[in-house]
Structure 1
Amino acid sequence: MQVYSMREAPYHRSVSVVMPSYNERENVAEAIERVAGALGEQLLEVIVVDDDSPDGTGQVLAQLDRPELHVIHRKGQSGLASALAQGTRAAKGTVVVWLDCDLGIAPEYIPELVSKLEDFDIAIGSRYVTGGNDLRSPGRALLSRILNRFAQVVLGSEITDYTSGFAAARHTALAKVPLSGEGFGEYFIDWAYHAKRNGLKIVEFGYDYRLRKSGLSKTDSNWLTFLRLGLSYTWTILRVKFHHWK
């Protein structure tokens, strides 16, 4: 009888990685290459959902000769959550991973995140468990930590990083709790909370969150944008909880 390690288990031979993209010309090719290198035979497909990037991201993607690459070009549509939702609906793998293109999260974490699904329905990357760090500026890291502590108090302490966005899930789990497809990072708060409420088994995995490798951040470009997002996330936390108080 052949014995498999957690990382080599046959269940994980079919992984779809969904990557939303907007103005990621400088990062997208390297991100795809590193995803493929990290997952090897486990990788079924990389789905890049590009929101008609004006910086030439689409042209970079068109020049890549990778059979596992599938590109969804969206015109007249935009938004992180809706891009992830559309890519997830198109995914054919037994496991779906969400990863940003900006290389703020190293793709090399993916195999270990996926391996957690041997015993769980969902694995969430967290900056706030053992092995995790938020390596952005101290001010932004502190505000994110405060927001997530607030989310834990309101929504439950089982999840430490409600704004992670880095996750792997069994396709069957996503069928039970689909993405809302609305907002920027608000979708993840809503999705993680409802996954927990629906009895799905969730585990967290520590990772280092760094500044993007190249290009401009969609959230950290200025403090006003960052604070506006923080207020929107706070409202989402309260809205999600109040909905279940009715």
Structure 2
Amino acid sequence: MTAEGGSLKYKRLLVKLSGEALMGKAGYGLDTSVVDRLATELAEARAAGCALSVVVGGGNIFRGLQGAAKGMDRATADYMGMLATVMNALALQSALEAAKAPARVLSAIPMPTVCEPYVRHRALYHIERERIVIFAAGTGNPFFTTDTAATLRAIEMGCDAVAKATQVDGVYSSDPKKDPNATRFDTLTYSEVLARDLRVMDGAAIALARDNHLPVIVFSIDGPGNLINVVRGSARATVIHD
């Protein structure tokens, strides 16, 4: 890692990646070329001096809410979704290591033959040694989303912000892919997000960020170089704050 951290706006950042981001244009599973590209961007941000951690979703493999909607017990469906995030985390770890960026997977559901269990001090130990920490299995509890897990882990790690990677360049008043008149916001307050029901993150995640004064950055992961621009504070994005 280089010593360029002084030029960065966010020196310690948690990146939230959805499972859908990892599957690229495919309808299911992992697109290894996309995973490799994301790993390269994370490695670039690390090399610039940003202490990084990542929370990955599992929607490309299994979504707990969809399973529950089809009649499955919600808690069981959520646990299955958590296991899907571990698979994604291991794939991302492999890609990061190939990109010469040391990485560790820590799971909220202990599975010591596969990865390390989540322990806060252990995670901080890895971050301080310039490793990218990938948090898997959400919070380890059903009924909580990976958005909430990302916000929680960002607070526990003392991050300057949580960056949510999406397929659009910020928060809009409605889906810009369906509504050509959708309004884009450069900044929002937590209260505005909740009052407008914008659903960029679930309400619990936004409330947790608000109560801990944690900025939320919503940016597009599709554009090459966007992540390094986020850590430098120059990305086209929506910032949610006090």
For normalisation by structure 2, the TM-score amounts to 0.40
